[in-house]
A = this chain, B = another copy of it.
Amino acid sequence: MKIHKLWNDYPDLSKDLKKTLKLMEKSINISNPEVEEAILTMMHSGGKLLRPAYLLLFSQFGKNVNKDKITALAAAMETLHTATLIHDDIVDEAGLRRNQETLQHRFGKDVAVYAGDYLFVSCFKILSNHASTLKSIQLNARSMETILAGELGQMNNRYDTSMSVTTYLKNIGGKTAELFGLSCSVGAYESGCSPLFAKKCQNIGYAIGITFQILDDILDYSQESEQIGKPVLEDVKQGVYSLPLLYALETHKTELLPYLSKKEHMTSEDTEKVFEIVHSSGGIDSANTLAEFYTTKALKEISRLPKNEQKTKETLYDLTELLLSRKQ
C-alpha cells in the first residue's frame, strides 16, 4: 500500500497511517462494485492523510493509548473528510480531484450524493464501534454540525464583494479548521488527556487548519494551479471569494467589479484579468502575511506542549513547519 511521500521520513507514523487507510477500506461494503471501486480509488488517490496524522500524533500525549481505538478514530476522521470532498465536488461540479475523475463526473450526481452520505454514516459507524464513550461521538457530532452550518452560512456570502476578512476566517474556520481541531482534540482526549489539554490541542489544530486553507486559496492564484487538477478560478465564477481576492477588493474594487459582476458568466479572459489584478495589487502578499501569523501561532503553541513527549513534539513542529511553508 502506498501513501503520500510526505510520510517517508516518519516510519512509525507511516505504519499507523497505512493501518488507518486499511480500516477505512474495510468499512466500505456496497453491492455496487463500480461505485465501491471508485470510493476506494478516491481513498488511495494520494491525499496527505493530515487529519489522521495529527490525531495519531496528539494521541501520544495520553497515558492510555489504545492503538486499535486511535487508529479507528483516525479512520473516522479521514472518512468524514472524504465524504465532504465528494459532496464539495458535486457543489463545485468539479471534473477532477487529485488528477482523478471525480465521482460525480464519472457516475453522475445521484451516485455522488449517496456515496458521500454512505461515508458520513461509515464515519459514525466506525466511531460508535470504537469510541470509548458517547462523549466522543457528541464532540464529533457537534464539530460536524459546525462544519456544515459553516458551509451553509458561506452560501450567504456568495458574490459579496464587500465581504470582510473576519467573515472569511469564520467561513474557513467551519469548512477546514474545525475538522483539524477536532482531529487533534479527539486524539488527545481519547488517549486519556484532560479536557483542558484536549482544548489546547484543538486550538493548535484550528490554527493549522486556518493556515492550511489560506495556503490552499493562495494556490488557486498560482501558475501551477492547472497542474494540480483544479479548474482555474472556478470558485470566483461561483461567487466564492477567498482571501487574496478579498484583499485585492479592499484596494482595487473599481478595477475588479466589471469582471466580477458577470458572476457565473465570466469568461476565461475575465478570470485571467482578475488573476492579474489580484497579483499586482498585492493580494497574494497580504494573504501570505496572514497565513504566516497563524503558522507562528501554531508553532508557538506546539513548542509549549509538555516536555515528556519530546520526540512527538519535534515531529509535530517539523511537520507543521514543513506543511505550512509551501510558498507559491
Contact = CB atoms under 8 A, between A and B. Distances in A.
Interface stretch (A130-138, A176-184, A200-208): A130-138
Contacts of A115: 152
Question: Which 6 residue pairs across A and B have the least CB separation, nearest first?
Answer: A125-B141, A91-B110, A31-B153, A128-B137, A118-B148, A121-B144
A180 B74 CA distance: 32
A128 B138 contact: yes
Given A109-B91, A120-B120, A149-B118, A35 B125 contact: no
Given A120-B120, A128-B138, A155-B111, A149 B30 contact: yes
Contacts of A128: 134, 137-138, 140-141
A155 B32 contact: yes
Nearest to A86: B113
A142 interface: yes
A313 interface: no
Given A91-B110, A120-B120, A124-B144, 6 more contacts: A30-B149, A31-B152, A32-B156, A125-B141, A128-B137, A134-B137
A109 to B, nearest CB: 7
Contacts of A116: 113, 117
Q: Kindly state the interface size class of chain A when it binds its partner.
A: 35 or more
13 contacts: A30-B152, A32-B155, A90-B110, A91-B114, A107-B155, A111-B152, A111-B155, A116-B117, A124-B137, A124-B140, A124-B141, A134-B137, A137-B137
A145 B120 contact: no
B125 A32 contact: no
A29 interface: yes
A321 interface: no
Contacts of A91: 109-110, 113-114
Please give the count of copies of this chain that the complex contains. 2
A114 B151 contact: yes
Nearest to A153: B31
Interface in A68-114: 84, 87, 90-91, 107, 109-111, 113-114
Contact of A87 (B84, B117, B122, B124): B117
Contacts of A151: 114, 117
Contact of A121 (B35, B109, B145): B145
A289 interface: no
A129 interface: yes
A144 B107 CA distance: 22
B122 A129 contact: no
